[in-house]
Chains A and B, each alone.
Chain A
Amino acid sequence: MLFKSTRLLGALSLALAALGAQAGQLTVYSSAGADVLKIYADQFAKTHPGIKVNWVRDSTGILQAKLMAEKDNPRADLVFGHTAANMVALSQAGMLTPYAPKGMERLNAMYLPKSSPPAWVGMYGWASAICFNTIEAKNANVPKPVKWTDLTQPAFKGKVTMPNPASSGTGLLMVNAWIQMWGEEKAWAFMDKLHENIASYSHSGDKPCEQAGAGEYVAGLSLPVRGGKVKSAGAPIEVIVAEEGTGWDMQASAILKGSKNLDDAKVLMDWAISTEAMEAYGRNSEVTAVPVKVPRMENVPANIAEKMIKVDFDWVAKEQSRVVAEWRKRYDNKSEPRK
């Protein structure tokens, strides 16, 4: 009997949650890594037991597609942990409710859009790195790269893998960074040469590092945090931040227009940039919007923050489709597998 009535209550609350109108409940979309999101979700649940959060996590592209499709019929209250490039697009589509969370003034100015109150706020940043398999490198006599341009040496032919910028935000971040660092002409010339050495373009930003870790390729252009984790799991890799500098993006949060529980959404926004949250990010990422003193992540290079170049996210949002089209014209159309 008791079991029955709790089941009924459960079903009822689910039905209400579907309508999204219940106070104390939030539906939150996230494209943060599923492993780190669990840490943040558990932490928030501990300090705010009164708010039940229904987390929906998926990869960046899937989530963005879902958000855009739901444009006229928003289902979530909040996006927690989604890239700035995508936040700019959501904001331009008029899908965000600007809100200035408590303690916003502590944030590094790079982590905020220019509008006030901000449509979204950055939480922590992520950059790119080269995952370099030392065992396979020794077997194949490949020198350790320290710069992006080292990857164009003949020794790397058929031994490098990177994410496809047409399907992966990480890949696009690298291409954008090369263009912003070196200018269009020099950047495309570099990519022409790099393309000669690429064995395969993958559809995910994490995959190249995993493949390098498993010895499938010698060098994988990927994410430093993934590199740290793969190394900690036992892979014989070095995680290298290129000397010239690295592009970066951030995980940001925003309230969605149409949220039916604005009060609780604001509570989560405030928490997202609280010191408590920043410390949690600090233990699991490369650099945070508010500097914190916590132990760094194991095996993630210490110099990433210095190597991050200045990124103009408005430029990125504006130029994205042109850059991708150019990239596809040059490399994707003839990217038959190499022998």
Chain B
Amino acid sequence: MTLASGLRPMALRRDRDDGLMRWLLLGCGAFMLLALLLPVGMILVRSLQDSNGVFVGLANYRSYFSTGSPWQSMRNSLLVSSITTVIVVVLAFAYAYALTRTQMRWRGFFRVMALVPLLSPSLLKAIGLVYWFGNKGLLKSVLMGESVYGPIGIIMSCTLWTFPHAVLILITALTLADARIYEAAAVLRTSGPRTFFRITLPAVRYGLIGAAIVVFVNVFTDFGAAKVIGGSYNVLATDIYKEVVGQQNFSMGAVVSVVLLVPAVFAFVLERLVAGKQAAALGARAVALVPQPRPLVDRLMFGYCLLVTLFILAILGMAQLAALVKFWPYNLSLTLKHYVFDVQGVGWENFWNSLTLAFWVASVGTPLIFMGAYVVEKPRADMLGRTLLHAAALLPMAVPGLVLGLGTLLFINQPGNPLGVLYGSMAILVINTLAHLYTVPHLTAVTALKQVDREFEAVGASLKVPMLAVFRRVTLPVCLPAILDIWIYLFLNAMTTLSAVIFLYSADTKLASVAAIHLDEAGSTASAAAMATLMVYASLSVRLLHLGVSRFVLRRAQAWRGGV
């Protein structure tokens, strides 16, 4: 009798916890299904149909591969993506290391600067690069006769664009370290380099591989940089653009999209293989690492970060200059006239729409993505569901925005789709953007969660502490920096997102990023730059505000880290 009454509450609690997990899994799964899987499924179906919607099997694939062009585009895509990945991972690791493991000066400043490329639409970076390195550019000679319009431009632009993503993932990986190991190393008089290669690097290899995968696939699927600065250099993403936008050949565009999805599967397998070997870095008995001053390293890293920051500022500063001169490069007198936007459907309401979108994407997305990552990472829910959810979460980075946008457009316009009422509303933009941006925050959350030892939950369960209590008292505080980073990541990316939403906005929900493209199309590079700089300043203000709030929240919640 006493035994039974002692057991029942615990069993009940277990059941309740499991039930909660199942509901969470179901909720996240439903979102993934409607926002991502069905739209992408529409594309798959389209690739098997002719232009009249008649099923033709693999005929489209046969005709696509028989022309010979896909191999060249694929080789170009692979080349550009690989080079960019190597450059970005090396640069970003050093940068993130400097931010988290040294006592160099201006760490707060450099942390903000690393995210600055996220604040600017790809158009702005392209304008900056062209004005520096174009045929009339000030630094054209640096390219030694090579043209910026081609692989060089794509690599430079993508390096700038993916750098913040990589830094974000690596900061998360490097932040959580067990000081005891380093103390032990110090006691054993292990040399600095040896400590670095034997302790630091292995502990963050999951983050490193995650960052590499994100960078590679992002560049592989990006069409923005290739379109504006790639010149005639063919990559798979611009092939999709040619089919869909140039020819309205949805079937062929779908075929190329499916070909582009291949790296997603590859990345998923790779990621799973690595993840299986990763042990939690932050054991239940871990002590947070506080970097010790190392004058030489600190000074070197300071110089390095300053250099990276200067490069970023030079590109964006040039774009700002472009918005202020009368006519580049022949009349360099200053003017504000490019800030007067006299074009149909372009105005301040575009800003308001962008801010609204960014706010909702960040505020709805952060809890959703974190919950999803929690379900994936914590072993309570069933294995199959978790694996599927994780696979779905990795898919968005492999789906070019253009494809997701087109898939959503086709999906929502299916006759009889009850979601059709959302078409043209802000809600569809929020859902679509969230699905588009899902992967990096998911990986960030998973990396953060991975470093919380599963022991915590096990101990919690055996001490009859409800899962929610463990979540609130341990998981949430440990992951708070990552959660705050996810919010701002979503916000900033939603501000500049373009390729997915271009098919989905309506007259009432037109975004600033779309407006900037329209200004460029209307022939005014300077006005487009002007609009884009306004977006940068708006985002920067939000970022600084976020930094202030984060400091305050973290100081209260992170006392356990000690010394923060």
Q: Which of A35-43, A146-154, A240-248, A296-304 contacts B (4 or more CB under 8 A)?
A: A35-43
B residues in contact with A117, CB < 8 Å: none
Contact, CB under 8 Å: A226 / B523: yes
Within the complex, what minimum Cβ distance (angstroms) separates B77 from chain A?
Answer: 14
Segment 187-203 of A: residues with Cβ below 8 Å from B? 198-203
Closest to B147 in A: A337
Which A residues touch B420, using CB under 8 A? Answer: 73
Query: Which B139-194 residues sit within 8 Å CB-CB of chain A?
Result: 145-147, 149-151
Q: Does B238 sit at the interface, judged by CB under 8 A?
A: yes
Scoring A34, A333, A337 by chain B CB atoms within 10 A of each residue's CB, the highest score goes to A34
Quick check: B248 and A14 within 8 Å, CB to CB? no
Within 8 A of B (CB), among A204-236: 204, 206, 209-210, 214-217, 226, 229-230, 233-236
A101 → chain B closest CB, angstroms: 22
CB <8 Å contact, B250 and A69: yes
Which of A58-66, A102-110, A261-269, A272-280 lines the interface with chain B? Answer: A58-66
* Nearest opposing residue in chain A for B227, CB measure: A203
Residue of A nearest to B72 (CB): A333
> Which of A56, A200, A203, A206 has most chain B Cβ within 10 Å?
A203
- B362 to chain A minimum Cβ distance, whole angstroms, is 23
Chain B residues with Cβ under 8 A from A33's Cβ? 521-523
Known: A34-B521, A61-B248, A73-B413. A56 touches B241 (CB 8 A): no
Of the listed stretches B17-25, B90-98, B340-348, B388-396, name the one at the interface; the rest are far from the partner chain: B340-348
- Size of the B side of the interface (Cβ < 8 Å), in residues, is 64
A80 CB to closest chain B CB, in angstroms?
A: 11
Cβ B415 vs Cβ A27 within 8 A:
no
Indicate if B454 sits at the interface (CB-CB under 8 A). no
CB neighbours (8 Å) of A200 from chain B are 147, 149-150, 231-232
Whether the Cβ atoms of B242 and A216 lie closer than 8 Å is no
Q: Chain A CB within 10 Å — which of B68, B343, B414 has the most?
A: B343
CB neighbours (8 Å) of B101 from chain A are: none
Q: Give the interface size class of chain A.
A: 35 or more
Of B68, B346, B406, B508, which one neighbours A65 at CB under 8 angstroms? B406
Chain A positions within 8 Å of B423 at CB level: 18, 75
- Known contacts A54-B508, A61-B246, A69-B413; decide if A235 and B330 are in contact (CB<8 Å): yes
Stretch of B128-136, B212-220, B481-489 with 4 or more beta carbons under 8 angstroms from chain A: B128-136
Binary per-residue interface labels of chain A (28-59) against chain B in the complex, 1 for a CB within 8 Å, 0 otherwise: 00000111011001000000000000111111
With a cutoff of 8 Å between Cβ atoms, the chain B residues found around residue A55 in the complex are: 344-345, 507
Judge whether A64 and B135 touch: CB under 8 Å: no
Contact of A332 among B234, B249, B502 (CB under 8 A): B234
Q: Is A57 within 8 A of B327, CB to CB? A: no
A14: chain B residues within 8 A (beta carbon): 508
Q: Which of B233, B415, B503 contacts A62 (CB 8 A)?
A: B503
As a 0/1 sequence over residues 223 to 254 of chain B, the CB contacts with chain A under 8 angstroms (1 = contact) are: 00001000111100010011011111110000
- Asked if B541 lies at the interface with its beta carbon under 8 angstroms from chain A, I say no
Nearest CB on B from A194, distance (A): 13
The docked-state distance in angstroms from the alpha carbon of A89 to that of B249 is 12
Asked if B344 and A41 sit within 8 Å, CB to CB, the answer is: yes
- Chain A residues near B508: list those with CB within 8 A: 14, 17, 54
Looking at A1-9, A122-130, A307-315, A321-329, the stretch in contact with chain B turns out to be A321-329
B502 touches A62 (CB 8 A): yes
* A333:B519 contact, CB within 8 angstroms: no
Q: Indicate if the CB atoms of A59 and B521 lie closer than 8 Å.
A: yes
- Tell me which residues across on chain A come within 8 A of B538, comparing CB atoms: none
Asked whether, in the complex, the Cβ of B248 is within 8 Å of the Cβ of A64, the reply is yes
Q: Give the complex CA separation of A135 and B150 in angstroms.
A: 25
Taking the complex as formed, is A339 at the interface, i.e. its CB lies under 8 A from any CB of chain B? yes
Is A100 part of the binding interface, using a Cβ–Cβ cutoff of 8 Å?
no
Q: Is A185's CB within 8 Å of the partner chain B?
A: no
Contact B424 A335 (CB under 8 A): no
Assembled-state Cα–Cα distance A61/B250 (Å):
12
B70's nearest neighbour on chain A, judged by CB, is: A333
Distance A54 CA – B66 CA, assembled complex (angstroms) = 44
Query: Contact check: which of B135, B343, B502, B507 meets A215 at CB < 8 Å?
Result: B135
Please tell me which one of the listed residues A34, A75, A166 contacts residue B346 in the complex, with CB atoms under 8 A apart: A34
Nearest-CB distance from A265 to chain B (Å)?
16
The reply to whether A329 and B67 form a contact with Cβ atoms under 8 Å apart is yes
Q: Is there an interface contact between A230 and B523, defined as CB atoms closer than 8 Å?
A: yes
Which of B67, B414, B507 is close to A54, meaning CB atoms less than 8 Å apart?
Answer: B507
* Chain B residues whose C-beta falls within 8 Å of the C-beta of A319 in the assembled complex: none
Q: Tell me if B13 is interfacial: C-beta within 8 Å of chain A.
A: no
Is B248 within 8 A of A35, CB to CB? no
Q: How far is the CA of A339 from the CA of B145 in the complex (A)?
A: 7
Whether the Cβ atoms of B346 and A164 lie closer than 8 Å is no
Q: Which residue of A lies closest to B411 (CB)?
A: A69
Asked whether any CB of chain A lies closer than 8 Å to the CB of B387, the reply is no
Q: Which residues of A contact B244 (CB under 8 A)?
A: 61, 65
- A199 partner residues in chain B, CB cutoff 8 A: 147, 149, 231
B residues neighboring A (CB under 8 Å): 67-69, 72, 130, 134-136, 145-147, 149-151, 227, 231-234, 238, 241-242, 244-250, 326-331, 342-346, 406, 409-410, 413-415, 420-421, 423-425, 502-503, 505-508, 518-519, 521-525
Query: Chain A interface (Cβ within 8 Å of chain B)?
Result: 14, 17-18, 27, 33-35, 37-38, 41, 54-59, 61-62, 64-66, 68-73, 75, 89, 135, 164-168, 198-204, 206, 209-210, 214-217, 226, 229-230, 233-236, 320-321, 324, 328-329, 332-339
Residue contacts A-B, CB under 8 angstroms, 12 given: A34-B343, A54-B506, A55-B345, A57-B344, A58-B518, A61-B245, A61-B248, A66-B503, A73-B415, A200-B147, A206-B523, A214-B525
Closest A-B pairs by Cβ, 10 of them:
A61-B245, A234-B327, A337-B150, A38-B344, A167-B246, A54-B507, A200-B231, A335-B232, A37-B344, A73-B413
